[in-house]
Structure 1
Amino acid sequence: MITEVLDVDTSRRRIVDLTSAVEEFCGSQPDGLCNVFVPHATAGVAIIETGAGSDDDLVDTLERLLPRDGRYRHAHGSPGHGADHVLPGLVSPSVTVPVCDGRPLLGTWQSIVLVDLNRDNPRRSVRLSFVPG
């Protein structure tokens, strides 16, 4: 297995497109699987369309589903931080994508993104792992 860890700053964006980094990581690999994993209790990884408003729609939807208020038992950090700990139940902490001839097999409009609504921790690690097929 081959791995690489990305350091991602989410202080300015709630959705960060990782697609080009994943493509670069997979570029010299044969056929196999690429796993993208975020080892944080308050972030996730998704495959969505970006740039056409879908990324903003995802953030808006998650913020409606997970309001930042005092309803959460997990209550440390900024107000509503408990919502951040529920996020990985809705947006998985990992995705796995097939790779063929060094290219992740994503659909035309698909991008791999980091989803991070947590305002308390803007530094994220993302682990890319490649397993030959």
Structure 2
Amino acid sequence: MSTAFTTRTLDITTGTTETVADLTADCAAFLRETAEGRDGLLNIFVPHATAGIAVLETGAGSDEDLLAALRDLLPADNRWHHRHGTPGHGRDHVLPALVPPHATLPVVAGHMALGTWQSVCLVDTNTSNTDRRVRLSFLG
């Protein structure tokens, strides 16, 4: 079996509020250009210490529920040892332990094998850094 590895970066602006940004269309477009109908793996990676990648339902409130749960688990207050930046910024550095900075998805016939309601999302609670880079890599 022949294998090919292709990688590309996306530049995402998340804004000044906590964000769940849907990357599913970007991932699908990348696969249309690179997978050429092959089976393989798609890796999505965010090389930032304060952001993560999640696979979840969007548009029905689950994205807001995720942000609310993260606010409950990781309050933006002065309890954090990591204290530079905005108040409570230390919690942003704990986020990747709960929402990892990567996801690997199966690709079948050039398409992500996601469930009906699943989307690939960038989760960013750091309101001080609005510019994010996401690396998409296909091996197939």
Number of aligned residue pairs: give it. Answer: 132
Distance in 1 (alpha carbons) for counterparts of 2:73 and 2:44: 25
Distance in 2 (alpha carbons) for counterparts of 1:13 and 1:103: 29
Query: How far 1:13 moved relative to its partner?
Result: 5.7
AA aligned to 2:40 is G
Q: Does 1:62 align with 2:66?
A: no
**What SS is found at the alignment partner of 2:58?**
coil
Cα distance per residue 1:45-67 (max 9 Å; x no partner)? 00000000000000000011000
Equivalent residue, structure 2, for 1:19: 24
**What SS is found at the alignment partner of 1:22?**
helix
Structure 2 unaligned regions, length at least 5: none
What is the TM-score with the length of structure 2 in the denominator? 0.92
Q: Does 1:6 align with 2:14?
A: no
Compute the RMSD of aligned alpha carbons.
Answer: 0.9
Distance in 2 (alpha carbons) for counterparts of 1:42 and 1:13: 11
Segments of 4+ in structure 1 off by > 6 A? Answer: none
Structure 1 unaligned regions, length at least 5: none
Q: Does 1:122 align with 2:117?
A: no
Query: How far 1:101 moved relative to its partner?
Result: 1.2
Q: Does 1:51 align with 2:56?
A: no
**What SS is found at the alignment partner of 2:135?**
strand
- Percentage identity across paired residues of the two chains: 55
Query: How far 1:8 moved relative to its partner?
Result: 0.3
